[in-house]
Every structure is written in structure tokens, then in C-alpha cells.
Chain A
Amino acid sequence: KGIIANTPKRLRDLIREIRAAKTAAEERAVHHLNSNHTKKRHHPPSRCRNVAKLLLYIHMLGYPAHFGQMECLKLVASPKFSDKRIGYLGAMLLLDERAEVHLLVTNSVKNDMNHSTQYIVSLALSTLGSICSPEMSRDLAGEVQALIKSNNAYLRKKAALCALRIIQKIPDIMEMYIPCARSLLNEKNHGVLLTAVCLISQMCQLSPETLNHFRRLVPNLVRILKNLIMSGFSQDHDVNGVSDPFLQVKILQLLRILGHQDSAASEQMNDILAQVATNTETSKNVGHSILYEIVLTIMGIESESGLRVLAVNILGRFLLNTDKNIRYVALSTLQRVVQADYNAVQRHRTTIVDCLRDTDASIKRRAMELCFSLINGQNIRGMAKEMLSFLADCGSEFKADCCSNLAIAAERYAPNKRWHVDTLLKLLAAAGNHARDDVVVAAVQLISEQSAYQAYAVHQLFYYASQDFSQQPMVLLACWCIGEYGGGLFSDCCADGLETYSAKSPEEVLGLLEQALLSSQSRQSTKHVAVTAVMKLSTRLPHQEQQLLDSIRHLAAYHCTSSQLELQQRSVEFSAIFRHHENIRAALLEPMPVMEGRAESGRDLPAGSGAAAVASGDSAEVGDEVAAAAAAAAVAATFESLINFDDSSTGGVPNATIGLPNAATNSSSMLATNNSNSVAGPLIDVFGDLGVSEPAPVSEASALPALPPIASAGIAGLQLSLAGSRQQSNNVDLIIRAVNLGDTNMTNFLLQAAVPKSLQLSMMPASGDCLPPAGGSVTQKAVVTNPNGVSALCGLKAWSGLKGLG
């Protein structure tokens, strides 16, 4: 160990002392002593070096050593090589690029660059390459250029990299280096080639004109690369049997820059790329690094499709490699190219799916993202199965993303609705508490649309919720569905002949809801939904037994004194329904219409105003809000407009001015206020194609100037017609006429109208509330004021008897 023997004594002792210090405090004490000693200015010249070394060691360990800067400068100025060496090292480490002291070094560096000894020149170059401020660069640019042309290869290399550093600092100087850089490419010396390629790459990246200029060099580069791989064994630069992989990679990078978006240049590279790809030995990492660079280059230039397929296949082979580094690199690159080369990547799908089971989390994540990019209509079933099993086992950091992504994929590619419902439910079961709200919303939307599968869905949900109460998103969904579609639970359900779910008794169902209301595991949102569900269930029961109704009353009233405002409000209001408004309870809690607006557009952008609030944020509230709104709106004024309220009124709450002919004005006002408490958006949501239960009369958007009379479709024997006339510029008089064309007497007839918020509606009392069959009619007058001059929309709904006609 001859080298250690040369280390001067003082340094060794210091290092020993520092290492011997057992605690941080001791170490600091040692440093303190030594810095004091070092700060003394009077050192004999031979010890200057050692002092400097001490300084550097101290600095490396993280202690402040700025007081040593002047020492370093002194050393740099000394004529002795060993002094200079330490001095420059110190300068590199201690001198901040932005400190003014920095400039003092410039002069020494300049002189040293013209020195006769190559080692001193090289020191200066190294320093310049490491710490280089714009001012310094400007001063020394000329010297560097001269050195690039020096006849010493060693110095040429360093000078080239210095030039690189300089043009990074001052891009304008680039011009002066172009000719010499070009000539460097003719060298045989690998080191010089390497640095020249670096320099040219940097220049091309900084300036597009230079890029064009250097494009002409593509044939030269191709030739160099070819020589590299053909010339066989070059002892010096060989790594594991591959000749100078670093140079190969750098050239490939430069080719990528030059060929990017330029088909002529790319054309010239095609052959060599294919050649290197096939000739490179892949038993070791070196080979792989070259192949990887080739793939990147192929993808970055305008290559022909055969070459691109070759690249993807290389990546596919990487995936099968046992070295996880290589798999990781392959997965990241595949993710980048999957859009462009979809089919080629699809071929490797099975391997990618296998990577889901890797032990490294970053590999798993990339495999997961890639899998989602590869799902399409053909492989959805198989892929969904894979992703579900992945979801069940993976770590919690993946669950939320996986769940949401799988829900999107399921929506886009579901082969049939039953599968879709099934998958969403399994998804929620697997994701547990990590499922995001948007998945729950999507499930609600889906179930409300698929009337055929509602009973099935409810049974499934009941099962899941009773199994594992801690999975809150699932429980929330279950509560909502039980409330809305609970009727299905009370009879057996045979799902497409596969499984049969037995009927549940009302007590069981209420038991689950009770658990939801009372359990400490329930989140607030779950409790909200549960309260409403309990209420809704009161109208869905197979028989209106008093005992059941009593328990429902009890449950509804449970949270009347809750400290959570929302919960208390719901509890109180629902109890009030039992107390005061028993007669309209059933009407209030009718099944909701299907939610519209999200059906066509898929998940991210709900079309139509209605769904806007549905998708936004608090989904847990949504289902419930809509329910509450539905309840309130049923009397206060449930309106449906078959048309989306257009631009002017998106999101506006329809104003409910009610012309209730008789009775229950109290209740209407209370519920009217309740109505205004409900969130704006969901109220509009009720407006959609009813489809399910209530048929609807047509409502019509009336343009301002003229109002032609409109006949509506006659449904259930009721015909509504709307006639209007303009009174003044902003007012429209509407006369709504309802004619009973059917056979049955319609009593308690009630007509309601709604308009967007920007308009005002006032309704006069109707002419009567009884429609005798075969032609009996009732007219009602309404005035619509349109202060803003927007196009007006109006929704109409008619009621007869306790249950609405529609």
C-alpha cells in the first residue's frame, strides 16, 4: 500500500482523530481545535498543502470551511505542481460559483492553460469544467478553443468538455466551436470522439440552426458506429466483450437528436440501427444498455414500421429478463410508446400482466398503468379478471388508482350490462375503503339505469354489506340502493338462472340499516344515506305493517339530537313527515327517475347540466341529495324537463312557484324551504327521462317572439296543451289546459310548472281540480317574466290523486 505511506502525517492523524470520535459532539470538538489551528496564517510552505487537505476533508464531512478559500488561491498561484493540484481541488470544492472570490482564480487558470506542462493545463481545464461562471467562460473561451486544436489528445478531450460547459453558460459563443467540433469527429481516439459527440449533442440541443448544420454528419456517425461494432476487439475500451459501449450509446443519442422529425436523416440510419440491434450481445447488462438506447432512438426518429416492431420486440424480450432493472426500463419505455405502436405492444400483453406479480413496487405500478392502456373491447373480460385479482392483493397505495381506472375501463368496454354491474360490485368489494367516490357514483348511475338488474344488484349489495361492514364505500352504496330499490329485496331473485337470492324479511333489511345508522364504523356520509334509505323503505315495504312503520319512525328519529347538522336536519325533517304529513308520505318517497346525462358521455365529462353536480366531489351526498330533493320536490314542485336547460340556465335551480289550490299550504312552504336547502344541481337531475315509472307530458321550450300552441303527447288519457301570448317584451302569458281524454275520473288534479332561475313564474289558481272523463278540462294561467331575455324553458308536471300521473 505504497500510496498510503505518502500521505503526510498530519492529515492522517487528523483523519484518525475524527474517526475515533465516538459521538457527534466529540467530532465537533476535534474540528474546532483543528480549524483554529488551520486558521493561523503562518504556515511553512510545505505544510500549506496539508493544511489545505485538512480543510477539504473537513468540508467533505459537512463543516464550514470557507476561511480556507484564500489558502487555496495561494496554492493555485504557486509554481509547484503538487501545490497547484490541491489548490485547484480546493477551488473546485470550496469556491462557490457565484462568489466574487471566484474571479480571482480566473487569472491563474488563464495562465495555466498556456503552460507548457500538459498536466498543469489539464488541471486548469478540469477546474474550468467544474466551476464555470459566465464571466469566466467569456474570458477563457478563446483559450479553450485553442486547446481543442492542440496536438495532445489528452488535452483535446478535456477542452471539448470545457467547451460544452461554456456553451451551456453562454449559448451565444457556440459559433466559434462549430468548426473545431466538426474536425474532432475525424479522430480515432475514443476519448476524443466521446467528448466530441457530447459537445455536438449539446450544441444541437441548444440551437436548431446548428442542428441543421450537423445533420450532414449523419453518414460520418453511421460510419463510426459501424467501425465500432465490426472492428472486433479493441482492448482498451472493451467492456465485457462489447467495444466501447459508452461511445456507442452517445452516438446513438446524437443520431436520435439529428433524426428527430427529419425523414431524410432517419432514412440514413435505418440500416445501422437494425445492424447494431441484431449484433449486440445481450448476455450482460452492457448489451442491454445499448439495446435500450437503440429502442429509444428508433422511437425518437421517423423510422419505418418494421424497425419500430423490432424495437417493441426488443422491449418484449427485456420483460422476460430476470434482472428487474431491465424489466423496469422496458415497462417505462413501453408505456411511452403504447399509443403509437398499440398493436405491437398488445402482443406482449401476457408478459406485462405477469409483471403485476413482481415484488418491486415500482415495477408493479408501471405494469398496472400499462395494463390499463392495453384494455380494449376484445380483452376486457380476461383483463378485468386479472386486474381484480391484482386489486385484491396489491398494496394500499395502488388500490385507489386501480379501482378508478378499472371502473372507467369497465364503463367503456363492458360487453353487457350484467357484467358491468357485477364488475363494479366486485370492484368495490375488492377495493374496500380505498375506493374513490367517483366509483360509487358510477355504480349508482349504472344501477339506476339498468332496471332489469336492480333487484339483482340490491341482493348482491345486501350480501356484501352484511358480510363486511367496514368497507364503507360498499356499505354506502348498499344503503342507497336498499332505500331506492329495496322492494326487490323482499322477493326471491333469480339472476339469469345462476344464483338465487332468497327473499329477505323487512326486519333483516331494517337491521342492516340500523347498523348503518348506529355503528361507529359508519362514516357521516353513510349515515346520511342510511337515514334517507330508511324513510324510502317505508313506502317499499310489502305490507304496511304498523310495527314496521313504528320501527322505521324510531330509526328515522334516532339522530334528531345529533351534533352533526346535516344528520340532525334529516332526522328531524323525516320525523316531521311521519307526524304531520302522513298522507303524502308515499308520494314524497316515490322511486326516482333515472339519472341522465352521464350515460352517453362516459365518466369524465357529464353532458348536460344535470349530471354536473352528480359528478362533482361529494358523491356520497349526491345519491342522498337527489333522494331528498326528490322527496321535497314531489310536493313542492317536481318538474321534469325533457330537454336540458340550455346554456343560460345550466345549473340554475328551477324556481318553484306553486299554485297549490288547496290545503297543506303549511307543508308546502316548509318543504319549499327544504327544497331550497337542497343543492341546486341534483334537483335538475330529477329531470330526465323518467322511463321507469311515471310517464311525462312534453314540455316545450318557447322562443320569445311567438308562442305557438303546443299539444303534448297524451299519456294515461291526459293531454296538456300550452298556449301563450306575449304581453310585453319581457312577459309571456301562458295558458295551460289539461284535458282528460280517458275513462277515469281524475280527482285532486294538480298542475305544476317550473322555469329556470333566470326567469320568474307566477301561477294563478286553476279553474278546478277535477277532471271528468272524456273531455273534462282544467285551465290554469301562468305568467312568465323573462328579464334577461334568455330563451325560456318550462317544465310541467301534472298530479292526480295521491300518486302522480306524471
Chain B
Amino acid sequence: MNTVVAKLQRQFQDYLVSLYQQGFLDNQFTELRKLQDEGTPDFVAEVVSLFFDDCSKLINSMSRSLERPENVDFKQVDSGVHQLKGSSSSVGARRVKNVCISFKECCDVQNREGCLRCLQQVDYEYKMLKTKLQDLFNLEKQIVQAGGAIPQVNIN
């Protein structure tokens, strides 16, 4: 029984480490995990799901703004990017945040092509992250069901 839990914990740890290593997550995600306790057991899941909802909404609206090349509302895009950057940095979605930084630059110079490319990248990144985090949360559930505790993993 204990070995199953240990194995799962090990798996969880390695997976989480890999996410950090690959740059999907950064320190802020660690901070988020810290805020999760007995009183708020699903805090992280809730925050990230909100984030992903936010992402999809913002991406949709930005995509609409960038749709017609002659009538691009860069202000709106800019505001969207700003929001996205803020959200992603709040949850620690590093790759998304980095794309947002480039996205903002494109927006500042009003480069539609660049913006579109960034938008695509953002979309890809957030979806990727969503899948990854889903797997992570599944692992967590498995550990909890097996009666173990989720290990506290602090990562550089």
C-alpha cells in the first residue's frame, strides 16, 4: 500500500519537476500551491480553471479584433494582452507570460502579423498547459485516493 503511494508521489514529483524544467511553470505556481490547505483544497485547480477560461475569452476577443487587417483595434488588443499577461503571471504560467511579452511588443509597434503569430502561440501554449495541468491534477487525485499526502515540492 505504501509503495503504491510512494510510487505515485514519486511520479507526481517528477512530473511537476519536468513542468518546471520545461518552462511551463515558474515560482508563482509554487506560491499558489502554498495557498492550498485543508480549508481550500481545490484552490489551485479553481484558479487555473479560471485562468484558462479567461484565456479562451481573451483570445477569442483578441482574435476578433485582429481579424480584419484594416480595422485593428490595437488598443483593445493591447488591453487584452495586458490582462493575459497579468493573469498568466498571477498563476505562474511562464510560457504564456513570455509569449504575452512578445505579443505586447508587437502590439506596441502595431504589427498585425506579429500579433497574429503571437496569438496563435498563446493559444497553443495555454492549451498545452491546460492538458499538462489536467494530468497533474489527476495524479493528485490518485494520490489522495490512495491515502497519501501530496508532497510539498519547492523548486528553483
A and B bind: no
Which A residues are within 8 Å of any B CB, using their own CB? none
Which B residues are within 8 Å of any A CB, using their own CB? none
